[in-house]
């Protein structure tokens, strides 16, 4: 006898990513997307109305966040299994999500390679925790990719990363366009960060993304020898500002994003691969920023998945 497909409600406030989730789920004949929602309250109402078998739920939702929405959904649709898919990778957040009754948690940067596996585990009543959730031993060496809807969100995300790193006593290497560097400086100053002192101490190294790319690109692809040589020198310079501790260096940049925007997806993927290798050589944090506006094209979905798989 044929079994009925698993009925899925997809909840995410960013439409391009929601489309990506629905498209990925659509690859399995056992899964049927029966509804979508873009905020927490709408998710609660649709869960109560549709009583889905599975809810794929974001955390950073407008009106009502995903954690609070899940609490209410567990009461109104108790048979619905919940799988969180969020850009948040904090172990505290993940533990809270599982504590309230979710069976699975996928970090968005890993969704391309983990989503279907997570859905399969959850539908069987098994717990699934993303490889993007750091264990305690991995916290000092991470490579994260964030996808931002626009420039304003990009600046907010990078500011948060930079501010946290500086407060932790780390040195920052920031590789960005001129407009983003100016916006970052302005927002950091507005947030009360003494960025002038950080620059003077050598703990804030702002670099132009085009100039940086020119130092290691060759034949439209990043040259590994040049890449690791250039980045190694930058890390050494930043390390001198942190009493010689490499673990107190962090990098955030948009090299891969710029390459992709130029139509060079292969180079973008290779840069992400090299960044992943950097975290195996050094104890450090790396944040790579992308604009999600590029994902409107159908042909970009495969690139999105490849980039996610490199983190």
Position 257 in a domain: yes
Q: Which of 126-140, 204-218, 261-275 has the highest mean pLDDT?
A: 204-218
Residue 132's pLDDT is 81
Percentage of residues of the chain with pLDDT beyond 90: 51
* CATH number of the domain residue 119 falls in: 3.40.50.2300
Last residue of a domain, one of 129, 158, 183: 129
Last residue of a domain, one of 109, 129, 149: 129
CA 131/CA 284 separation, integer angstroms: 18
The verdict on 121 and 177 lying in the same domain is: no
Position 297 in a domain: yes
> Can you tell me which residue has the tokens 């992943």?
276
* CATH number of the domain residue 264 falls in: 3.40.50.300
pTM score = 0.55
What's the full length of the chain, in residues? 311
1-5, 55-59, 197-201, 305-309: the lowest-pLDDT one: 305-309
Tell me: pLDDT of 219 over 60.
Answer: yes
Position 135 in a domain: no
**Overall domain count for the chain:** 2
Residue 302's pLDDT is 58
Last residue of a domain, one of 96, 129, 162: 129
* Bridge partner residues of 147 (DSSP): 290
Residue 45 CA, chain-centre distance (Å), reads 28
Residue 244's pLDDT is 58
CA 243/CA 247 separation, integer angstroms: 11
Domain enclosing residue 16, as ranges: 6-129
Residue 293's pLDDT is 58
Mean pLDDT of 87-116: 88
The verdict on 168 and 261 lying in the same domain is: yes
The verdict on 31 and 83 lying in the same domain is: yes
């Amino acid at each position: 006898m044929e079994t009925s497909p698993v009925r899925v409600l997809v909840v995410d406030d960013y439409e391009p990513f929601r489309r990506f989730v629905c498209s990925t789920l659509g690859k399995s004949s056992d899964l049927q997307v029966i509804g979508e929602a873009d905020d927490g309250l709408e998710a609660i109402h649709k869960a109560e109305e549709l009583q889905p078998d599975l809810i794929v739920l974001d955390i950073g939702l407008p009106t009502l966040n995903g954690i609070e929405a899940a609490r209410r959904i567990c009461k109104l649709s108790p048979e619905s299994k919940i799988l969180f898919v969020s850009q948040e990778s904090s172990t505290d957040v993940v533990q809270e999500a599982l504590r309230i009754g979710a069976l699975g948690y996928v970090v968005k940067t890993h969704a391309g390679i983990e989503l279907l596996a997570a859905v399969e585990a959850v539908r069987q009543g098994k717990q699934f925790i993303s490889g993007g959730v750091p264990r305690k031993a991995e916290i000092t060496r991470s490579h994260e990719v964030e996808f931002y809807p626009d420039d304003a969100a990009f600046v907010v995300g990078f500011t948060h990363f930079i501010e946290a790193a500086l407060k932790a006593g780390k040195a920052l290497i920031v590789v960005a366009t001129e407009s983003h560097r100016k916006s970052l400086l302005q927002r950091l100053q507005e947030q009360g960060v003494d960025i002038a002192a950080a620059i003077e101490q050598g703990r804030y190294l702002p670099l132009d993304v085009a100039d940086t790319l020119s130092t290691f690109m060759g034949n439209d692809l990043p040259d590994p020898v040049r890449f690791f040589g250039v980045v190694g020198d930058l890390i050494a310079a930043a390390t001198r500002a942190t009493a010689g501790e490499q673990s107190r260096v962090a990098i955030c940049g948009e090299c891969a994003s710029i390459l992709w925007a130029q139509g060079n997806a292969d180079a973008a993927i290779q840069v992400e691969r090299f960044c992943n290798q950097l975290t195996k050589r050094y104890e450090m944090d790396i944040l790579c920023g992308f604009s999600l506006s590029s994902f409107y094209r159908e042909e970009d979905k495969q690139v999105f998945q490849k980039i996610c798989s490199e983190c």
